[in-house]
Structure 1
Amino acid sequence: MRVDKYLWCIRYYKTRSIATEAVKKGHVSVNGQQAKASRDVFAGDKITLRKDQINYVISVLGVPDNRVGAKLVDMYRKDETPAEAFEHLELLKLSKEHYRAKGDGRPTKKDRRDIDGYLLDDEEDESNVE
């Protein structure tokens, strides 16, 4: 079975065209060598693919006839992705939140009105002092 079709069958990609595109971009290697979309996959092969900033490592246990259900995926592949890869993804998510907290940025219309009201109150206070 072709490597792009295999990755689609075991549900790593939503469509086969997305899987083909990932292989063309060089995100997939089979047994340590860059793969073309037409490369055949056999039981015992080791596939490395990069998706969502994670390097997945998959061992092929079998080749399905067609796309399988989510519960049956483990019959055809063994996921050997190190846990550090998922921890790294969590750190990336936390760093993005730390860099810019949600809600920061341009003020909303309500925020702008509150700021203008605050500034107007300050100007009135200064005119009363004089």
Structure 2
Amino acid sequence: MNTFDEKNDNAKFRIDKWLWAARFFKTRSLSVDALECGKVLCNGVRVKPAKSVAIGDMLSIRIGPYQFLVEVLALSSNRGPASQAQMLYKETEESFLRRKAQSDELKAQPMPTFFRGRPTKRDRREIEKLKGSVW
């Protein structure tokens, strides 16, 4: 069963449903939140969740530190496997290379020391010394 809408070429779908079906967001509510916060632009313009997306639209999607620039190739409002979701869009080469470089740069940075867990009693004393406050 194919999830793409092939019978109607001029069909349009809500952008929040399309983002969810294309697996950019895990839930529709996360895609709605991203749209309302301005993290998704359609053809360079900030849009609302009910905006219709059409084939050929260029979407700019910011997820965390990464920016995706994708072209809509197919429409679907049904969430399917990742292999089908990847056929809904095509990421630009420039966007892919920028994300790859950014990912490599983030991996090369040392892991912050505060990820070791809860501070020990000794660590807490050193923090208090740095702050300059005494109980």
TM-score by length of 2: 0.69
The corresponding residue for 2:56 is: 44
Match of 1:4 in 2: 16
CA distance in 1, matches of 2:58, 2:44: 8
Please state how far the C-alpha of 1:86 moved relative to its aligned partner: 2.6
* In the alignment, structure 1 residue 76 sits paired with structure 2 residue 88: yes
- Answer yes or no: is 1:87 the counterpart of 2:97: no
Identical-residue share of aligned pairs (%): 27
2:109 corresponds to which letter in structure 1? S
Give the secondary-structure state (helix, strand or coil) at the position aligned to 1:72. Answer: helix
1:27 counterpart (30, 39, 60) = 39
Match in the other structure for 1:17: 29
Give distance in 1, aligned partners of 2:115 and 2:77.
45
Match of 2:119 among 106, 109, 112: 106
Structure whose CA Rg is larger: 1
Please, what TM-score do these two structures have when normalized by structure 1? Answer: 0.72
1:94, CA displacement in angstroms? 3.2
Structure 1 pair 15/65, CA: closer, same or farther in 2 (3 Å)?
A: closer
Whole-angstrom distance in 2 between the partners of 1:96 and 1:102:
11
Structure 1: state its 5+ residue gaps: 110-130
- 1:84 to partner: Cα distance: 2.1
**Retained in 2: the 8 A contact 1:26–1:34?**
yes
Is the contact made by 2:17 and 2:77 (CA closer than 8 Å) also made in structure 1?
Answer: no
Aligned residues: 109
Aligned partners of 2:33, 2:119: CA distance in 1, in Å?
37
Letter in 2 for 1:22: A
More helix as a share of residues: 1
* Matched residue SS, 1:82: helix
Query: Offset of 1:96 from its aligned partner?
Result: 4.7
Question: Greater relative contact order (Cα 8 A, min sep 6): structure 1 or 2?
Answer: 2
